[in-house]
Amino acid sequence: MSVFNDAIKNFLSPIEDLLSDDSISEIMINGPYEIFIEKSGKIIRTDYRFKNNENLMSAMRAIAQAVGKKFDSDEPRLDANLPDGSRIAAVLSPISTNGTAVSIRKFFKEKVLLKDLIAWGAISKDAARFLDICIYLGKNMLVSGGTGSGKTTLLNILASRISNNERIIIIEDTKEMKLEDQHVVHMITRKEDPTQNIKGITTQDLLHSAMRLRPDRIIVGEVRSGEALDLVNAMNTGHDGSMGTVHANNPDEACLRLETLCLQSGTKIPPNSLKLMIANALQVVVQTKRFSDGKRRVSHVSEVLGVNDDGSYRLEHIFEWTQKSKNDETGELIGELAPCQYLPTFFDQIKVNKLPFPSSKFERPDWVKKLKKAA
């Protein structure tokens, strides 16, 4: 940790103020002389700069060395974590023609809870309560969204709602999830390095190991390749309440994306059978989105119901973000994650478990009905 801190002090001093500013969520460096930040969802150019590209490259190499990674012409890409948990990614010049390109994604220092998302307008109170119920009932969930839409933050919050009596195994490429006071085994992939005789360990490898470590739930930080099939198999073989994230623009595309990733495993499962496996494995898709006003919100909560005759996935939206208006002064979109007049197929489980969430919570509000009618 001291090596990390020294690297930050000695080499990242040109942006030390940006790193310590909690209102900044991301720092983007396009070479030594162009530094942008994301603040309140808006991208802002700053006057900060490094002395030269060599100075910037030295900072990245120092960080790489501190985490036991290489960052040079043979390995011109870096993915690592800073001491405060911030994730740093870098691409060396001349691969990056602007000079060394860096992105530092900062994470909340304080634990973020569902009530915080509600206060920020990222999710409605009823939708948050419904997701809490899905966790309690052990529904397999997929968090979908674009880059920087808040997938990992939401996944971490949902995972934190799991009972302490359950054994959770988390698999990530870079450690981003932080669960406290829970029965957690955290595993991180390892990149292959033939020069050091280091064998790579993939997410798929770790999923195979996880299955033998007696998990109650398995969480994959980001599903991005053939390990998708192993996660689907885990969901279908008794590991209820497992979760993962994928990059997709809407809940329908999330299912298609998961199918595509399953195919990357080289499986010989017939396409129709694979679709049915996925539809049986997933119960709920939660879609996150960064809206035009820069705010990150949950845009959909959907139930996966099966496969249609044409091979498309059949989903029903339970909650959907609907815009009411727009603040002309700030540009902020005014709206709410409102119910869609759809009762989930597992509503009987909610009643049997005597969970305080009546069917009226799924009724579409009058203001949404008026908007739909006017449209």
CATH code of 86's domain:
3.30.450.90
DSSP secondary-structure letter at 361? G
Residue 76 lies in domain: 2-105
pLDDT at 173: 87
Q: From CA 8, how far away is CA 30, in angstroms rounded?
A: 18
Identify the domain boundary among 47, 80, 105: 105
Cα 66 to the center of its chain, rounded Å: 26
Same structural domain, 92 and 122: no
| Bridge partner list, 339 | 319
DSSP secondary-structure letter at 364? P
Phi, psi of 64 (to 5 degrees): -60, -45
Same structural domain, 120 and 40: no
CB half-sphere exposure, 208, CA atoms < 13 A: 7
Identify the domain boundary among 105, 137, 168: 105
Identify the domain boundary among 67, 85, 105: 105
Same structural domain, 129 and 98: no
Same structural domain, 32 and 140: no
pLDDT at 277: 97
- Specify the CATH number for the domain of residue 294: 3.40.50.300
- The answer to pTM > 0.85 is yes
Angle between helix 203-210 and 227-235 (nearest 10): 20
Same structural domain, 76 and 214: no
DSSP secondary-structure letter at 84? T
Angle at Cα 295 formed by Cα 293 and Cα 298, nearest 5°?
125
DSSP secondary-structure letter at 353? T
User: Are 103 and 82 contacting, i.e. CB atoms less than 8 angstroms apart?
Assistant: no
- Which two three-digit tokens encode residue 337? 């994650």
Query: Looking at the chain, how many residues does it have?
Result: 375
pLDDT tens-place values along the chain, 375 residues long = 555 566 566 778 899 899 889 889 999 999 999 999 998 888 999 999 999 999 899 889 888 887 778 898 888 999 887 777 788 899 998 899 989 999 998 877 678 899 999 999 999 999 999 999 999 999 999 999 998 899 999 999 999 999 999 999 999 988 888 887 789 999 999 888 787 788 999 999 999 999 999 999 999 999 999 999 999 999 998 899 999 999 999 999 999 999 999 999 999 999 999 999 999 999 999 999 999 998 999 999 999 999 999 999 999 999 999 999 999 998 999 999 999 999 999 999 999 999 999 999 999 999 999 998 887
Same structural domain, 193 and 92: no
Q: Residue 249: name the closest of 125, 128, 151, 140 by CA.
A: 151
pLDDT at 84: 73
Same structural domain, 89 and 184: no
- Which two three-digit tokens encode residue 265? 């495993």
Same structural domain, 261 and 121: yes
Same structural domain, 100 and 163: no
Same structural domain, 275 and 156: yes
Helix, strand, coil shares, percent, the chain, to 5: 35, 25, 40
Same structural domain, 232 and 369: yes
Number of compact structural domains in the chain: 2
User: Are 245 and 222 contacting, i.e. CB atoms less than 8 angstroms apart?
Assistant: yes
Q: Residue 157: name the closest of 188, 119, 193, 194 by CA.
A: 119
Same structural domain, 232 and 352: yes
Q: Can you tell me which residue has the tokens 């942006």?
A: 15
Q: Is 127 in a helix, a strand, or coil?
A: helix
Round the CA-based radius of gyration of the chain to a whole number and report it.
22
